């Protein structure tokens, strides 16, 4: 699956792009005061979280699981992965994201909209003092007159699994 970052890196200013290549559809999510975008190809669905079943002994990034029409989906606290404050009320929505045949849900405050973004609006992510950008945000774009990060879902899966949490594996037809 192509990531937004690889799309940004492949942009060739000399070559003209077809209309299909010139834009990408994203799902906007809000975490506190921060806005992020997720490539719509990685999003399976959004649901309102009715209840969370805690899983003892799991890392803090996994807040529990939810039953979604018979599927037990791991619920990930994305704010924790991104280094954002995790205090405040429980996040009311979950965005089910897919990487290959694996699913997990990230908790979010809001899903304001689905938006089509021109690829030339993507900029490389800001680097920290050591020259590294966060592994989750590899591109930024202007969202609602503010800069917002583009989340790389494959990297989110890698980080979650690196902390001992397994995503739900689905059949190839899921």
User: In terms of residue numbers, what domain contains 41?
Assistant: 18-169
Domains in the chain, number: 1
Indicate whether 103 belongs to any domain.
Answer: yes
Instruction: Check: pTM over 0.85? Answer yes or no.
Output: no
* Residue 19, token pair as written in the block: 């209309």
For 145, left (φ over 0), alpha (ψ -120 to 50), or beta?
A: left
- Is position 93 within any domain? yes
CATH of the domain at 91: 2.40.50.180
Q: pLDDT tens digit string along 63-114?
A: 999 999 999 999 999 988 888 888 878 889 999 999 998 999 999 999 999 9
The pLDDT confidence band at residue 139, using thresholds 50, 70 and 90, is: confident
- Considering the domain boundaries, does residue 71 fall inside one? yes
Give domain status of residue 11, yes or no. Answer: no
From the number of C-beta atoms within 10 Å of its C-beta (0-12, 13-18, 19+), residue 62 rates as buried
C-alpha to C-alpha distance for 17 and 146, rounded to whole angstroms: 26
Q: What is the CA radius of gyration of the chain?
A: 16
Cβ count within 10 A of residue 7: 16
- Evaluate whether residue 13 is within a structural domain: no
Question: What is the per-residue pLDDT across 11-32, written as a single tens digit (0 to 9) for each?
Answer: 333 345 555 568 899 999 999 8
């Amino acid at each position: 699956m192509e990531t937004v970052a690889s799309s940004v890196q492949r942009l060739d200013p000399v070559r003209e792009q077809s209309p299909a290549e010139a834009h990408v559809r994203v799902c906007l999510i809000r975490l506190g005061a921060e806005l992020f975008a997720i490539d719509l190809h990685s999003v399976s669905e959004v649901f309102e979280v009715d209840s969370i079943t805690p899983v003892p002994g799991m890392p803090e990034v996994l807040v529990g699981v939810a039953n979604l029409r018979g599927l037990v989906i791991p619920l990930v606290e994305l704010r924790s992965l991104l280094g954002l404050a995790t205090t405040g009320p429980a996040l009311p929505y979950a965005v089910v994201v897919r990487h290959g045949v694996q699913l997990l849900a990230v908790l979010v405050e809001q899903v304001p909209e689905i938006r089509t973004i021109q690829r030339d609006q993507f900029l490389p992510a800001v680097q920290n003092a050591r020259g590294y950008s966060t592994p989750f945000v590899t591109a930024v774009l202007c969202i609602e007159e503010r800069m917002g990060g583009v989340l790389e879902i494959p990297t989110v899966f890698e980080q979650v699994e690196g902390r001992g949490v397994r995503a739900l594996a689905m059949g190839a037809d899921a």
